[in-house]
A and B are shown apart, each in its own frame.
Chain A
Amino acid sequence: MKADSVEALFNLDPLQLQDQDIFKGVEALRRMRSEFLAAGGETGAKTPGKPAAKAPKKTLSKEELGTLNLDSLGIKIV
């Protein structure tokens, strides 16, 4: 049994699908994404006048990555 398209991926009994059948469907979905992007589609968020939230630049040093004082939070690890 060969699934050589997205349609086949969804129409065939999943229990009968081989990994290579599924992979062909995955590749078809990836092509669909590429075509969507090529047609001007965006797979990131729309920007309503604000830049996207970025990762904080500051990173913690090894010293700062110490154990949090859980007692101050009144929390016990169990």
Chain B
Amino acid sequence: MSTEGNSSFSQKSQNLQLAWDSTSLGLLKECPRKYYYSIVLGYQGSGDNVHLAFGQLYHGALERYDHSRATGADHDAATVSAVRYCLTETRVALANGGWRPRDWGDSNKNRFTLVRTVVWYLEQFRDDPARTLILHTGKPAVELSFRFETDFKSLAGETFWLCGHLDRVVEFNNAVYGLDRKTTKHTLYSDFIEEYSPDNQMSLYDIALQVVYGIRGQGIIVDKAQIAVGFSRFERGFLPKTDEQRVEFYADTAFWIGQAELFARKNYWPMNDKACGNFGGCVFRGICARSPQVREMWLKGLYTKRMWDPLQVRGDI
């Protein structure tokens, strides 16, 4: 079984995912075939994904900042901790005992622009009115892994779960919001927030906020950064949510997960050939363009495998 060892998949029903995060749910909605290749079979394009790596480091650095502030460090000291994280995480050790900087070969997203963006973001929001909630454990509410049980059941009676990672939970203007950070190479316009309304990831985070904290959150704040060669710029947008929108998203999610079970039971994963050109082109377009009998051979030759398990909790610090 291709999903063997993946704790997010059913042990009873082959290829049926039980724990869903926004990435796997989004792929399923985009194209069932893409979901099958990427999540069920675990294929990914070879090479370093600069956008994923850059985003993870950017999030990690700001997480260090938030943790440092919550434990009493001032702005400067917390910024130093964030920058140290960036520098050490992009240090590649060499066999001869030396080191070299990590290089993605990208003029926009590289080691220098990572550190610059972190420092400029922290300057931009130095006196941020959005204050990080402090958990009862004394830790700041940043990079929170969540999972919750739904009332959706598989035909075999297994429970489906929703899970993921909230970047940060904040109090802003006497209301609670989830806050997510995004980066882009493209020009950042003030109405950028419209591209996240509606959005699979933001809707899931919003529901998780209600579940994790049991309070009525206002919605999601998105802090987006544009990473240019010579500068970084930022914009904050707000996604207020109503209970009716939450119920609608939840019902839609039940539908999509039901579709996934149907695909899994039939082991039939249809292509959405209207999505092949999205986001600069699907990474599997070259596979789907070939005749079915040779696709597996090309997948094995051109792609590497990794396991996407949304139940793997991110490390806490």
The dominant DSSP class at the B interface is: mixed
- The CA of A34 and the CA of B115, in the complex, are separated in Å by 16
Min C-beta distance of A77 to chain B, whole Å: 6
Q: Which B residues lie within 8 Å of A55 (CB)?
A: 172-173, 238
- Interface stretch (choices B209-217, B264-272, B287-295, B299-307): B209-217
A52 beta carbon closer than 8 Å to chain B: yes
Instruction: Given the known inter-chain contacts A33-B123, A43-B231, A70-B214, please indicate yes or no for A9 contacting B87, CB distance below 8 A.
Output: yes
Q: Which A residues lie within 8 Å of B175 (CB)?
A: 59-60, 65
In the complex, which of the residues A15, A41, A67, A73 contacts B215, with contact meaning CB atoms closer than 8 Å? Answer: A67
B193 beta carbon closer than 8 Å to chain A: yes
**Per-position 1/0 for A32-56, Cβ under 8 A of B:** 1100100001111111101111111
Instruction: Given the known inter-chain contacts A29-B120, A30-B119, please indicate yes or no for A51 contacting B216, CB distance below 8 A.
Output: no
Are B174 and A60 closer than 8 Å at their CB atoms? Answer: yes
Q: Which B residues lie within 8 Å of A50 (CB)?
A: 189-191
Instruction: Given the known inter-chain contacts A22-B83, A55-B172, A67-B215, please indicate yes or no for A44 contacting B148, CB distance below 8 A.
Output: no
In the complex, which of the residues A53, A64, A70 contacts B237, with contact meaning CB atoms closer than 8 Å? Answer: A53
Min C-beta distance of A27 to chain B, whole Å: 9
Instruction: Given the known inter-chain contacts A68-B243, A76-B149, please indicate yes or no for A13 contacting B99, CB distance below 8 A.
Output: yes
Q: Which B residues lie within 8 Å of A45 (CB)?
A: 188-190, 192, 224, 226, 233-235
A1 beta carbon closer than 8 Å to chain B: no
The dominant DSSP class at the A interface is: loop
Instruction: Given the known inter-chain contacts A29-B115, A43-B231, please indicate yes or no for A53 contacting B207, CB distance below 8 A.
Output: no
Q: Which A residues lie within 8 Å of B237 (CB)?
A: 52-53
B150 beta carbon closer than 8 Å to chain A: yes
Q: Which B residues lie within 8 Å of A59 (CB)?
A: 173-175
From residue 198 to 246 of chain B, which have CB atoms closer than 8 A to chain A? Answer: 207, 210-212, 214-216, 218, 224, 226, 230-238, 240, 243, 246
Some 9 contacts from A to B, beta carbons below 8 A apart, are: A10-B115, A15-B88, A23-B79, A43-B231, A43-B233, A48-B190, A53-B191, A73-B247, A74-B250
- Interface residue ranges, B against A (CB under 8 Å): 76-77, 79-80, 83-84, 87-88, 90-91, 99, 101, 111-112, 115-116, 119-120, 123-124, 147-152, 172-176, 187-193, 207, 210-212, 214-216, 218, 224, 226, 230-238, 240, 243, 246-247, 250
The 5 closest A-B pairs by CB, nearest first: A45-B235, A74-B151, A52-B190, A14-B87, A59-B174
